């Protein structure tokens, strides 16, 4: 192939065209020649863009050509009560603690155990701070600070009261809950799912995170690492949707650029990238073109998603929000809208559950901030017949001590509660138990890895067969130790 020489009108010398142009400028992929017809076509940007039938880019397909098991659920909505929700005052009633209130916790229970802020202090029992009742047909035992959730959804919930975890401080405990290890740099569960199953939505990311806070606790910092893709490629990273500013970072057009002008620029970029692709036949350029198309679609699909004005009044009322305020309730409503649009993994944080002091008032207050939104979300999904293939996960990175810290409770890793709903989990079901103090998970103990294994299973993935080589190891979400699918919880 000969080299072409272009006369540069601007610099003194003659510049030879580089490889990108010279050698293959008349070799076009698929034999299409870029004549005047083609150019005219390129100019009809808008029509062409609308007609463009882009294949789903490879990056958004999962690596599993088919699931390991028949999937029971298509998506997960994880309601993450960050800070460490007190299990004893919410879902795990311990009358014995009330009897022993103010008396020392038996040493046999606490000996050799990890303690956080209560290190070196007198460990006294602290009674449950709220009355409990049996709710629904199933008679689930739930504290009265969850009136709406308990009333509307007790018979949907699958409550596990025997969780235990490995970390007693927030940061590593979050990392463990989300990535299955305390070491940084590993993929979050949502990233694993996208990697395995791919994204369903063609105009929204497949892994979305929203964070809200409240008025009662010490607001927990939440690191972006909690939704990072770790050693998996960046396209599997969770994307945060925000209540203020651009709902997704950089999704808004620059000032002075309306949607049409933005489309013009994107079209010009696409046209030039296509010209390059025709010259070079480079799969990376093909991917780049698809990503610009998706980016542009996100610029309209994200604002459309966030705009809840068209939701009927009774729906807004059921969630107790008008939307747009970044509240947990508002995020619950958005979670349903994301689920409808095919987003695979949705994680909502409420980061205000760290109640070292005044646990009575603060847990009641924070529960109130959460109660209605969760109840509405579950009822709404059920009404739309989506609960059957949506898993709701509700829980914290750890629980809180049965011992007093002043009038609050400290971090606690040996026993706590999570609950699930929908997606093939047994409705109106209770599983596992802590001891009479609410300290140790003793009956049907469940590890964080068991939860991961079970969730993967419901999504159609065998956790043992789902690994990526990293630093020489077959890295798994469920780690190197044995993890168990909790068949007892499943329908």
* Binding positions for another protein, 296-335, rule CB under 8 A: 296, 298-299
Among 64, 147, 231, 435, binds another protein (CB under 8 A): 231
Among 28, 71, 200, 273, binds another protein (CB under 8 A): 273
DSSP letter string over 101-149? Answer: TTSBPPHHHHTT---STTTTS--BB---SS-EEEETTTTEEEETT-HHH
Q: Which residues, in sequence order, are CB contacts of 69 under 8 Å at separation 6+?
A: 457, 460, 461, 462
Which of the stretches 231-239, 307-315, 387-395, 415-423 binds another protein when contact is defined by CB under 8 A?
231-239
- For another protein, which is the closer residue by CB, 115 or 386? 115
- For another protein, which is the closer residue by CB, 294 or 446? 294
Among 64, 109, 155, 169, binds another protein (CB under 8 A): 169
Among 252, 303, 342, 365, binds another protein (CB under 8 A): 252
Considering only residues 444 to 483 of the shown chain, the ones binding another protein according to CB under 8 A are 464-465, 469, 471-473, 480
| 266 interacts with another protein by CB under 8 A | yes
The CB-of-153 to another protein minimum distance in angstroms stands at: 28
- For another protein, which is the closer residue by CB, 247 or 423? 247
The CB-of-273 to another protein minimum distance in angstroms stands at: 5
H or E element in which residue 429 lies: strand 429-431
- For another protein, which is the closer residue by CB, 49 or 269? 269
Among 97, 149, 222, 392, binds another protein (CB under 8 A): 222
Considering only residues 178 to 207 of the shown chain, the ones binding another protein according to CB under 8 A are 183-185, 205
Residue recorded with tokens 């590593």 = 172
* Per-residue binder mask for another protein (CB under 8 A), 339-358, x = binder: ----------x-x----xxx
Number of residues that bind another protein (CB under 8 A): 118
Which of the stretches 267-275, 416-424, 431-439, 448-456 binds another protein when contact is defined by CB under 8 A?
267-275
Among 28, 48, 133, 225, binds another protein (CB under 8 A): 225
Considering only residues 23 to 42 of the shown chain, the ones binding another protein according to CB under 8 A are 23-25, 34, 39, 42
The CB-of-260 to another protein minimum distance in angstroms stands at: 8
Which of the stretches 157-165, 229-237, 377-385, 444-452 binds another protein when contact is defined by CB under 8 A?
229-237
| 123 interacts with another protein by CB under 8 A | no
Q: For residues 289 and 269, what is the distance between their CA atoms, to the nearest angstrom?
A: 8
Q: Is the dihedral of CA 225, 228, 233, 234 positive or negative?
A: negative
* Per-residue binder mask for another protein (CB under 8 A), 97-116, x = binder: ---------------x-xxx
| 69 interacts with another protein by CB under 8 A | no
Bridge pairing between strands 157-164 and 416-421: antiparallel
Q: For residues 153 and 344, what is the distance between their CA atoms, to the nearest angstrom?
A: 23
Among 2, 10, 53, 55, binds another protein (CB under 8 A): 10
The CB-of-434 to another protein minimum distance in angstroms stands at: 21
Considering only residues 381 to 440 of the shown chain, the ones binding another protein according to CB under 8 A are 405-408, 410-411
Give the pair of three-digit tokens for residue 342: 């095919």
- For another protein, which is the closer residue by CB, 148 or 355? 355
- For another protein, which is the closer residue by CB, 155 or 361? 361
H or E element in which residue 41 lies: helix 36-43
H or E element in which residue 287 lies: helix 283-306
H or E element in which residue 263 lies: helix 259-280
Give the pair of three-digit tokens for residue 324: 């747009």
| 12 interacts with another protein by CB under 8 A | yes
Q: Give the residue ranges of DSSP H helices in 349-422.
A: 359-383
Note the maximum CA span of the chain. Answer: 93
3-state helix, strand, coil in the chain (%, to 5): 35, 15, 45
The CB-of-455 to another protein minimum distance in angstroms stands at: 20
* 283-306 and 259-280 helices, crossing angle to 10°: 160
Q: For residues 393 and 398, what is the distance between their CA atoms, to the nearest angstrom?
A: 14
Q: 464-489: buried (b, 16+ CB within 10 Å) or exposed (e) per residue?
A: eebebeeeeeebbbbbeeebebbeeb
Give the pair of three-digit tokens for residue 52: 């463009």
Q: Classify residue 252 by its DSSP letter.
A: S
| 70 interacts with another protein by CB under 8 A | no
DSSP letter string over 370-385? Answer: HHHHHHHHHHHHHHTT
Q: Which residues, in sequence order, are CB contacts of 106 under 8 Å at separation 6+?
A: 437
Bridge pairing between strands 239-240 and 207-212: parallel
Which of the stretches 147-155, 211-219, 303-311, 314-322 binds another protein when contact is defined by CB under 8 A?
211-219
| 120 interacts with another protein by CB under 8 A | yes
| 54 interacts with another protein by CB under 8 A | no
């Amino acid at each position: 192939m000969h080299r072409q020489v272009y006369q540069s009108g601007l610099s003194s010398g003659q510049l030879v065209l580089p490889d990108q142009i010279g050698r293959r400028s008349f070799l076009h992929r698929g034999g299409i020649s870029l004549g005047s017809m083609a150019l005219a076509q390129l100019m009809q940007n808008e029509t062409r863009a609308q007609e463009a039938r882009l294949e789903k880019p490879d990056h958004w397909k999962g690596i599993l050509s088919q699931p390991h098991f028949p999937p029971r659920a298509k998506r997960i909505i994880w309601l993450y009560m960050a800070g460490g929700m007190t299990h004893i005052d919410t879902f795990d009633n311990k009358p014995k603690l009330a009897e022993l209130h103010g008396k020392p916790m038996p040493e046999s229970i606490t000996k050799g155990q990890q303690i956080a802020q209560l290190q070196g202090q007198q460990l006294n029992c602290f009674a449950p701070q709220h009355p409990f009742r049996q709710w629904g047909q199933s008679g689930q035992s739930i504290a009265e600070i969850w009136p709406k959730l308990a009333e509307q959804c007790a018979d949907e919930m699958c409550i596990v009261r025997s969780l235990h975890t490995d970390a007693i401080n927030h940061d590593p405990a979050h990392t463990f809950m989300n990535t299955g290890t305390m070491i940084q740099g590993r993929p979050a569960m949502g990233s694993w799912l996208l990697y395995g199953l791919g994204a369903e939505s063609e105009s929204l990311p497949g892994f979305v995170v929203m964070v809200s806070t409240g008025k009662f606790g010490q607001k927990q910092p939440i690191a972006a690492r909690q939704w990072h893709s770790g050693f998996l490629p960046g396209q599997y990273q969770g994307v945060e949707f925000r209540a203020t500013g651009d709902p997704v970072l950089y999704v808004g057009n620059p000032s002075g650029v309306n949607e049409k002008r933005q489309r013009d620029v994107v079209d010009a970029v696409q046209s030039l990238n296509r010209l390059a692709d025709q010259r070079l036949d480079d799969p990376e350029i093909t991917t780049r073109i698809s990503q610009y198309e998706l980016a542009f679609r996100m610029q309209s699909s994200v604002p459309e998603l966030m705009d809840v004005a068209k939701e009927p009044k009774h729906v807004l009322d059921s969630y107790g929000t008008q939307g747009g305020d970044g509240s947990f309730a508002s995020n619950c409503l958005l979670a349903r809208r994301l689920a409808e649009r095919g987003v695979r993994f949705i994680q909502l944080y409420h980061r205000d559950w760290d109640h070292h002091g005044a646990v009575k008032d603060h847990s009641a207050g924070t529960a109130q901030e959460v109660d209605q939104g969760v109840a509405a979300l579950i009822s709404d999904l059920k009404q739309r017949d989506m609960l059957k293939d949506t898993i709701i996960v509700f829980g914290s990175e750890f629980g809180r001590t049965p011992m007093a810290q002043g009038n609050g409770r400290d971090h606690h890793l040996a026993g706590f509660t999570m609950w699930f709903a929908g997606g093939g989990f047994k409705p109106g079901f209770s599983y596992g138990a802590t001891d009479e103090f609410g300290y140790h998970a003793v009956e049907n103990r469940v590890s964080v890895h068991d939860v991961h294994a079970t969730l993967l299973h419901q999504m159609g993935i065998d956790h043992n067969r789902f690994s990526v080589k990293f630093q020489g190891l077959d890295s798994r979400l469920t780690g190197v130790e044995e993890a168990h699918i909790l068949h007892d919880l499943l329908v």
